Amino acid sequence: MNRFFEFSPAQLRVIVILSALLAILSAYRFLYDYSRVDDNSFRLSVKVADTDYRYAPVFEIDLNLSPADSLELLPGIGPSLAKRIVAFRDSVRFEKPADIMKVRGIGYATFEKIKPYIGVRAW
C-alpha cells in the first residue's frame, strides 16, 4: 500500500539507511576538520588555500587600543604579560609594532610569533 515514488518497502529501507549513513559521515567529517587545532594553540588566522600551508592573519590587534583579554589571544601572551603590555601602554604609547619588545618578558622570538597579528594605528 506504500506508494512513495513507486518504491518497494525494501528499497525505501535501503534509501533511508544510506541517507542516514551519509548524514552521519558528513557530520563526522565536519567535526573532525573543525575540531583540530595545530600546536595546541588558538590561531588568529585562516589557511589561504588547501595546498598552501601559509596562514594569513584574519585581523590585527591594535596595541594602543586593545584590552588585556584581547592581547591574551596572541600566541605566547598570557594574562600576566597582557597586563604588563597594558601597563606599559598606559605610560608610553606604542609608535610601531616593534616597540612591544620594550615590555619586560617580550623578546625577539615572541615578537616574531606575534608580528603578523599586531599593529599600531596612526593618529
Longest pairwise C-alpha distance within the chain: 82
Cell representation of residue 6? 513507486
The stretches of 1-123 forming alpha helices (DSSP H) are 9-35, 68-71, 79-91, 108-114
Taking the CA atoms of 27, 29, 30 and 35 in sequence, report the sign of the dihedral they define. Answer: positive
Does pTM surpass 0.85?
A: no
**What are 16-31's pLDDT values in tens digits?**
999 999 999 999 888 8
Q: Is the pLDDT of residue 123 over 70?
A: no
Confidence (pLDDT) at 40? 47
**Residue 83 confidence class, pLDDT cut points 50, 70, 90:** very high
CA dist., res. 108 & res. 102, Å (int): 10
